[in-house]
Structure 1
Amino acid sequence: MSPPSAAAGKRIAFIQAGWHRDIVAQCRLSFIAEMAVLGIAESDIDVIDVAGAFEIPLHAQVLANSGQYAAIAASALVVDGGIYRHDFVADAVISGMMQVQLATGVPVLSAVLTPHHFHAGHEHQEFYFQHFKVKGAELATACAATIRSLQRLENPAAKPHAALAA
């Protein structure tokens, strides 16, 4: 028997940006593994690939408006490519994600990271490869806690979803 879904038949969405895919994928893999520990089956998580971080808010909005998702998590690595636009992109992405969750009531959680000094050398690649594993587990924990908290706020008399009642 598979673990129950996130909340009242709703799913979890995980949006991942394509830039630095090998690093960003570590967040997704760790997120899915930790969600399984928390009682949410991989089959209850939809993974959506987008070109880059900038595309995350629009996809999050479409997913949130569908009514199918208890929460949306997103991961990207936004780096300084030498033309100083990464700060603007990161700010737009995070602001857009916040706007989506406030407008829809569906939590949109972020592991969109913007390191100050990233370069393509092995040392940085390995550091962020490992760091995104940590961030994926943290993102899953935050996702489950947020769903649980919102369930309590929406219906204080009801018991939290069994898979999230910790």
Structure 2
Amino acid sequence: MNQTVQTSASTPSLATPRRVALVCASWHQDIVHQARDAALAEFARQGLPAGQVDLYDVPGAFEIPLLAKKLAASGRYDAVVACALVVNGGIYRHEFVASAVIDGLMRVQLDTGVPVLSAVLTPRDFHEHADHLAFFQAHFVKKGVEVAQACLGALVQLARVPAAA
């Protein structure tokens, strides 16, 4: 998610109405929902109204891949976007959780052919004090914009692929 993808007059636009599912983990919701809200605003700015983005909340990041799979397999969504903050809780579990989530999301994408994009972030250091909370809230705004741009860019590029004969 370190690249910014923008649709513009020189880039093919989304020719047909699209529907996107946006799945957020409830842990650290005050931070995670910054990405959700920024993604919704960017989708709207790029021409995908909020009415075409369905919001889902799950208890934690670990629950995202299963819901993403069900959403992608439903045939209702052109893309699924996931947002979460996986933090080091002091028991060295966060790296395994983050890896399982990202691997699961990739598997969903490859198994279903539906783009699955991730703003699931795992900072090396996170402490619940004012400085870190403010930093990560702002960072998640940036990542929300980036994941929405990447989502729309992926949909545009996938629409350019000729259908199999």
Q: How much has 1:43 moved relative to structure 2?
A: 0.4
Q: What TM-score do you get using the length of structure 2 for normalisation? A: 0.88
Measured in 2, the distance between the counterparts of 1:35 and 1:8 equals: 14
Shift of 1:8: 4.3
Identity within the alignment, %: 53
> Which residue of structure 1 aligns with residue 48 of structure 2?
40
| Contact 2:79–2:114 under 8 Å retained in 1 | yes
Q: Tell me the residue number matched to 1:100.
A: 108
Q: CA RMSD in A?
A: 1.4
Moved over 4 A (4+): 6-10
Structure 2 unaligned regions, length at least 5: 1-13
Tell me the equivalent position of 2:118: 110
**Secondary structure at 2:95 match in 1:** helix
Aligned counterparts, 1:41-60, within 5 A:
41-60=49-68
- 1:10 touches 1:68 (CA, 8 Å); kept in 2? no
Give the TM-score normalised by structure 1. 0.88
The alpha-carbon distance between structure 1 residues 97 and 151, as it changes in their structure 2 partners (threshold 3 A), is same
Q: Cα deviations across residues 25-67 of structure 1 (Å, max 9, x unaligned)?
A: 0000000000011100000000000000000000000000000
| Count of matched residue pairs | 151
Q: For residues 118 and 97 of structure 2, what CA distance do their matches in structure 1 show? A: 14
Uncovered stretches (5+) of structure 1, i.e. residues with no partner: 1-5, 156-166
CA distance in 2, matches of 1:16, 1:115: 17
